[in-house]
Structure 1
Amino acid sequence: MAGPLQQPSADELLLAAFNRMRDELLSTLTLYLGNREDAQDVAQEAFLKCWRNRQDVPGVQNLRAWIYRIAFNAARDNRRSGWHKRRRPLDEVGLEGTHCPPAQELEIEHRDFIVALRRAITHLRPEEREVFLLRVNAELTYDEIAAIRCLPVGTVKTHMRSALSKLRQVLRQYAPHLPEAEE
């Protein structure tokens, strides 16, 4: 008779989660910070912070949200630092690494739309941008985002509505059929 199934260790759980999330986390951080180099630095810093606190993993209810919280805390620290001033505007960053097909495979109109969307995202207020990216890119629930941001769910939804409204205004030229308000 075989023994009980052995549960994965905290180390294994954390490594597996990071391997699954690596690309989407890097993409989300790139959109949040405005350039890939800072996003890579922050993702590495987030991994190290998670690794140093891996003993907490067994008690974490939502490992994905926990990793995103640590990553966005590191991203906010990066934005506040003088080191962040070296960033390049996002539209100078290539399309690679942001969950989009390579630029040469995109139609020019679609590529222009993607560039306009990225630029519009970078012009959102930081709290709107963070909520938008956590909801859309990271696919977290409003409750998970509220827990990460230490905000009431209603405030998170307000930030999301504001972000969507601003993005619709900017992107209406590419998609005139966009509704005025979320229904």
Structure 2
Amino acid sequence: MSVQDLSAGRLLAKNAVRLRAFVRSRVHNDADADDISQEAYARVLARSRATPLKDPVAYAFRVALNLLSDQRRPGAPDVNEPIDDAAASDAPSPFEVLDMKQRADLFTRALQRMPRLRREVFVLRQSADLSYPEIAARLNISVEAAQKHFSRAALEVRKAVDMERAR
């Protein structure tokens, strides 16, 4: 994920309530407002990957207006038409994807700041699901050292997450 994607995503997230209120004032129900707002965000995030945007928030409002206009055109699908459950997607929303990417980036930065041995112990315990004795044998350290490195690494990751939440 590029810096442009992150900054566009953060700006959109900060202005989510404004955009939804803007759309809600022009449609008949909350579900339509949610759908149009989400579609606008998805299009803006997709566009920001291809081309840097000067003002992603203004672009999101413009996209929302265009979607509202498209909805009113003759031949446009009826917004009150029932949704086909088979067509529903279990895919995460653009906000969920952005949140997951930001968390992964935060986690990666926290790992990169750790000393090499601590990072290796943490990765072996979390990703490879090895026991402390297995980690100790693989890295030629004591079981107690493996436990110590893991607990310190977990503490560092927790601090990084807590600091991010405090922002």
TM-score normalised according to structure 2 size:
0.41
TM-score normalised according to structure 1 size:
0.38
**Which one scores higher on RCO, CA 8 angstroms, separation ≥ 6?**
1
Q: Which has the larger radius of gyration?
A: 2
